[in-house]
Amino acid sequence: MTGFRFPPALRMLALGLGLAWAQGVLAQVRVPTQPIDPFGQEVTLTAKPIVYVAGSGTWDKALDTLTEAFQKVGAYLDKAGLKPAGPPMTIYTATTDTGFKFEAAVPLAEAPKTPPDRDIAIGQSPAGKVFKFVHRGTYKDMSQTYEAITNFFDSKGLDAKDLLIEEYLTDLKPAPEEELVVNVFVPAR
């Protein structure tokens, strides 16, 4: 793609979600949003204690992989009697054309006093300045949102860090699935 600057992490995520690329020219696709939805709003994230399951997966099975990971976190929270202090999030720590590494995390008001199960880890959510975008629609249609995010970064002359955060305002598999609402946070280099 000669002459085209594309944030590597977004490129990998968009490609992985099934985005078709044509000779460096991206089709302009309307992203379903609402007038109140921020798209490219600069915000500052504050670190919070999280419990998470780390893992990896392939893009063709991403939704099932993430759903399974969040079920493990949910089971731990129920067993430990802990309440979430915010929406669940996927922290993508690495992406390639075919797959990704992630942390399926749930924020807490404070870290648990007792050590979690062996599959569960304790940590901190990412902090710092990021750009916030909103996705509304199916999980499969997130490639359109990532395409629009890429266009945003390109138009601003920015490069994304190799870290992406999806915060789920609805269940990851809502019924009906078109009602999925996700905040996407992308830090710039």
What's the pTM value of the predicted model, to 2 decimals?
0.83
Model pLDDT, residue 189: 87
Q: So what's the pLDDT on residue 22? A: 30
Q: What is the pLDDT of residue 33?
A: 54
pLDDT for res 27: 37
pLDDT of the residue at 21:
31
Instruction: Give the pLDDT of residue 35.
Output: 62
pLDDT of residue 146: 92
Can you name the residues that pair with 45 across neighbouring β-strands? Answer: 128
* Residues 170 and 178: beta-carbon distance below 8 Å: no
pLDDT at position 32: 54
Cα–Cα distance for residue pair 187/178, rounded to 1 Å: 27
Pairwise CA distance, residues 21 & 11, whole Å: 10
Residues 129 and 182: their CA atoms lie apart, in Å, by 18
CATH class held by domain 8-19+27-186: alpha beta
Cα-Cα-Cα-Cα torsion 50, 52, 55, 58, nearest 10 degrees, comes to: -80
Those residues of the chain that have pLDDT short of 70 are: 1-36
Which sign does the torsion angle of CA 151, 154, 156, 162 carry?
positive
Measured in whole angstroms, the distance separating CA 141 from the mean position of its chain's CA atoms is 13
